[in-house]
Amino acid sequence: MDSEALKKHSALHPKPAGLTLQYGTAGFRTKAKQLDHVMFRMGLLAVLRSKAVASTIGIMVTASHNPEEDNGVKLVDPLGEMLHPSWEEYATQLANAEEQDLQKIITEICQKAAVNQHKDALVFIGRDTRPSSEKLSQSVIDGISVLGGQYHDYGLVTTPQLHYMVCCQNTRGQYGKATLEGYYEKLSKAFTELIKQSPSSGESQRHLKIDCANGIGALKLSEMEPYFPKQMLIHVYNDGTKEKLNHFCGADFVKVNQKPPRGLDMKPDESCCSFDGDADRIVYYYEDVTGHFHLIDGDKIATLISIFLKELLAKMGQALKMAVVQTAYANGSSTRYLEETLKVPVHCVKTGVKHLHHKAQEFDVGVYFEANGHGTVLFSKAAETKIRQLAKEEKDDEKREAAKVLENMIDLINQTVGDAISDMLVIEAILALKGLTVQQWDAVYTDLPNRLLKVQVADRRVIDTTDAERRAVTPPGLQEKIDALVKKYKLSRAFVRPSGTEDVVRIYAEADTQENADALAHEVSLAVYQLAGGKGAPPQP
């Protein structure tokens, strides 16, 4: 390591005094103007990680659904998964190190993580459409170069596309070609094969209005459109040419506000969906003839996919183990439907994609979605091998056809991470194959009315939870209070958890009516305010 070069280049990316950041599920995220030093240092870290695991590592410059003036950075591990937790710690140390300690901390990381300095390093870089992203990705490149790493800059890509590229590269092309064309070809070929099987494949066209949050999703969809079969007609809104990223639009806005985005004209019963800013989340929605807005969130997406995969697995006649993984935020109706009607095991884990992904890896087929629309399906190696073998060799027609559909599903799904483009095509294929309208899909079960609130507290660490965040352990008396409040309402439940990013406590409540869900959420928020050191004025109903 050339310590003079490190000193010289590091001085060009100074750390603002007094700034400390924490690497979380979303990597680092804050105001773009505070991130230059972090980008440079994550370039350094990616080289170390690449050398430690002798594989290509990804760096994505994005702040997803945050406002346009924010930015952020995430590292991608060899198989397209999120950065290993032990390295999240190193990322935090490196980002917060004072200038003069940088060399020392790099040496410590190399010792702790057994980094072989003589190995080659390769880093794939991608970025979203934020005005700050290009300059920040240049700082990443600066960091990579100082430590002698090689890099490939993909420029503007969705977050899931970068995850996909990293996985393709490290599986030596087994997962696919590590190019955008490779991604478009693999997904569109699988989608076209599936659509061919649909009952009305010849004559009927599928229309879908897509709100792209004024982000990268619009650019990539327009590149991919020529690859789509002619039956699929997409209409892109909020394409970034006129308005600001995520401003009154995008999946997060629609989910939180339970209303359509700005800039998309909805007609009754039309199928619409929204991506988030970096296209790794998707939600669907429509307006009925009375003008009532219907949101179809991640829970309902997971349910649709589960219904479809369960039928296919049954037809194929193999004893493959399938399960759905949710968080405490999943609507109670979805959990009940999956367990009682569909008879599919459901597992609840802590909030955060890495927890869902990890749990889903335990099954032959693991479906996971957060209610916010981030999710995917994982197939075990053994299950995938079996399905591909049956698609080729099975003598029984029905079993072979079911295996072929599953094989195309495996190719259409981006197993590395939630992917709005891939998930959209999966949903459209299933609706076409099952001959369902978006209204019929919505009617599978009715969501219990719910309410999300947050309460500002002096220190979020006073709240500690257990049972996948469904029960509070501290402060004393809080859980007992919540239990007593929940007893007052029908079909109700409520839980509280500290935010991962700010000093607030998040509250979720559901009940038989919206009025009751609102009342329960408010009563729980008062309990949190009183028992967990609320700040400012008490919550108002």
| Per-residue pLDDT at 117 | 87
Q: What is the pLDDT of residues 172-226, one digit of tens each?
A: 999 999 999 999 999 999 999 999 988 765 557 889 999 999 999 999 999 999 9
Q: What is the pLDDT of residues 475-530, one digit of tens each?
A: 999 999 999 999 999 999 999 999 876 789 999 999 999 999 999 999 999 999 99
* Both tokens assigned to 535: 């700040």
Q: What is the pLDDT of residues 422-476, one digit of tens each?
A: 999 999 999 999 999 999 999 999 999 999 999 999 998 999 999 999 999 999 9
Judge whether 73 and 28 are in contact, CB under 8 Å: yes
| Per-residue pLDDT at 203 | 57
| Per-residue pLDDT at 143 | 97
Q: Say if residue 532's pLDDT is above 70.
A: yes
Q: Over pLDDT 90: what percentage of the chain?
A: 91
Distance CA 224, CA 420 (A): 13
| Per-residue pLDDT at 270 | 95
CA 169 to chain centre: 21
Measured N-to-C along each axis, helices 514-531 and 478-486 cross at an angle, to the nearest 10 degrees, of: 160
Q: What is the pLDDT of residues 68-123, one digit of tens each?
A: 999 999 999 999 999 999 999 999 999 999 999 999 999 999 999 999 988 999 99
Q: Say if residue 343's pLDDT is above 70.
A: yes
> Which are the contacts of 107, defined by CB distance < 8 A and separation ≥ 6?
1
Distance CA 153, CA 243 (A): 27
Distance CA 463, CA 50 (A): 37
> Which are the contacts of 79, defined by CB distance < 8 A and separation ≥ 6?
166, 167, 170, 171, 416
Active site residues: 64
Annotated binding site for Mg(2+): 64, 276, 278, 280
**Which of left, alpha, beta for 34 (phi over 0: left; psi -120 to 50: alpha)?**
alpha
Q: What is the pLDDT of residues 16-42, one digit of tens each?
A: 998 999 998 889 999 999 999 999 999
Judge whether 220 and 157 are in contact, CB under 8 Å: yes
| Per-residue pLDDT at 24 | 85
What average pLDDT does range 297-306 have in this prediction? 98
- 56 exposed, middle or buried (CB, 10 Å; 0-12, 13-18, 19+)? buried
Annotated binding site for substrate: 370-372, 497-501, 506
**Which is nearest to 12 in space by CA: 113, 126, 81, 102?**
102
| Per-residue pLDDT at 363 | 98
Examine residue 475 and say whether the peptide bond preceding it is cis (omega within 30 degrees of 0).
Answer: yes
What average pLDDT does range 239-250 have in this prediction? 95
- The strand pairing partners of 127, in sequence order, are 61, 156
Q: Which long-range contacts (CB under 8 A, 24 or more apart) does 129-132 make?
A: 129/156, 129/215, 129/216, 129/219, 129/240, 129/245, 130/32, 130/62, 130/63, 130/68, 130/70, 130/71, 130/245, 131/32, 131/68, 132/32, 132/33, 132/35, 132/69, 132/71
| Per-residue pLDDT at 205 | 82
Per DSSP, 327 falls in state E
Domains of the chain: 3-156 (3.40.120.10), 182-292 (3.40.120), 298-443 (3.40.120.10), 450-532 (3.30.310.50)
Instruction: Give the chain's count of helices (H) and strands (E).
Output: 18, 19
Q: Say if residue 170's pLDDT is above 60.
A: yes
| Per-residue pLDDT at 449 | 94
| Single-letter amino acid code for the residue at 434 | K
**Which is nearest to 74 in space by CA: 107, 105, 39, 121?**
39
| Per-residue pLDDT at 201 | 55
CA dihedral 509, 510, 515, 518 (to 10 degrees): 10
What length does the chain have? 541
Judge whether 516 and 490 are in contact, CB under 8 Å: yes
Distances (CA, A) of 49 to 164, 168, 178: 18, 18, 20
Give the pTM.
0.95
Q: Say if residue 260's pLDDT is above 70.
A: yes
**Which is nearest to 413 in space by CA: 400, 423, 405, 428?**
423
pLDDT averaged over the chain?
Answer: 95
CA dihedral 317, 320, 325, 330 (to 10 degrees): 10
Per DSSP, 227 falls in state G
Distance CA 166, CA 80 (A): 6
Q: How confident is the model at residue 405 (pLDDT cuts 50, 70, 90)?
A: very high
| Per-residue pLDDT at 352 | 87
Q: State the CB neighbour count (10 A cutoff) for residue 394.
A: 17
